[in-house]
Amino acid sequence: MNPLEITDASLTLGGRILWSGLNLTVKPGEFVAVLGANGSGKTSLLRAILGQLPLDSGEIRVHGRPVARGDRSIGYIPQQRIMPAGTALRGRDLVGLGVDGHRWGPPWPSKAKRDRIDELVSAVGAEAYANLPVGVLSGGEQQRLRVGQALASDPSLLLCDEPLSSLDLHHQRGVAELIDRGLHERGTGVVFVTHDINPVLDMTDTVLYLANGRFTSGPPEEVLTSEVLSGLYGTPVEVIRSGSRVFVAGIPEFPLHEEAAL
């Protein structure tokens, strides 16, 4: 069964059509990168899959079932955020929230839970700092733990909302590989929202590019061309390839600092 099937889906937010007629299938083990300018509806797509935003039309099925809030077969990795120094949480507890954070009642310690957290912590290679307060962890360390947290329920679909932004290149690579490894080992489908494709370019099977209320999807080498993106934006856009990296220039209404890297 496919982790994600989106059929003819449309979403309007604040009177603006974000996308319509959207079709996307994510197969087990498939890595889908979602690209597009700010405000093109990338995060809203994830929220729709999570059941937080109702579609105007069309259908989203997760693992064959209609979307539902709190679906345990979906893992979610957000952007890194600053954890204040006085947060009552150690690295391993951040992972633990993925194990039983949604359940009612106080957190009684149990061996089963401890073992499960140990397993996840070592799966993401975070043993060295799992017992430190999250407030002292670096962005990269925190994101590794979040990958562990998201894997806690053995999801068949992993949704990532710019998990690499604000990480340095070295950590971007490390966290991306961690996500990629999880997907091949477990057959998880990944929907990866990002404004920069380069850290995940070699693991991307499919690009979904959202722009102007329209979209286009396909393998990265087919979608990320001057021709296709110019057609999508309705204005000349230039795609430059340099070694294994891709740069897009000339996207309208695009903030300058994001123009260099797509």
List of residues contacting other proteins (CB under 8 A)? 50, 52, 68-71, 74, 76, 78, 83, 86-90, 93-94, 97-98, 100-107, 109, 128-129, 132-136, 138, 140-141, 144, 146, 149-150, 159, 161, 171, 174
Task: Report the nearest approach of other proteins to the CB of residue 87 (Å).
Answer: 6
Of residues 2 and 87, the one with the C-beta less far from other proteins = 87
Strand-strand pairing, 4-13 and 189-193: unpaired
Distance, in Å, from the CA atom of 123 to the CA atom of 44, rounded to the nearest integer, reads 30
Of residues 22 and 137, the one with the C-beta less far from other proteins = 137
Of residues 147 and 239, the one with the C-beta less far from other proteins = 147
How many Cβ atoms are within 10 Å of 106's Cβ, its own excluded? 4
Task: Report the nearest approach of other proteins to the CB of residue 175 (Å).
Answer: 9
Of residues 90 and 183, the one with the C-beta less far from other proteins = 90
Of residues 104 and 257, the one with the C-beta less far from other proteins = 104
How many Cβ atoms are within 10 Å of 253's Cβ, its own excluded? 10
What is the helix, strand, coil percentage profile of the chain, to 5? 35, 25, 40
Task: Report the nearest approach of other proteins to the CB of residue 70 (Å).
Answer: 1
Distance, in Å, from the CA atom of 14 to the CA atom of 82, rounded to the nearest integer, reads 29
Task: Report the nearest approach of other proteins to the CB of residue 168 (Å).
Answer: 10
3-state SS assignment for residue 229: helix
Task: Report the nearest approach of other proteins to the CB of residue 123 (Å).
Answer: 15
Of residues 141 and 246, the one with the C-beta less far from other proteins = 141
Name the strands in the sheet holding 4-13, side by side, starting at the edge strand that comes first in the sequence. Answer: 16-26, 4-13, 57-62, 65-66
For 62, the enclosing helix (H) or strand (E) is strand 57-62
Among 84, 72, 95, 83, CA closest to 147: 95
Task: Report the nearest approach of other proteins to the CB of residue 108 (Å).
Answer: 10
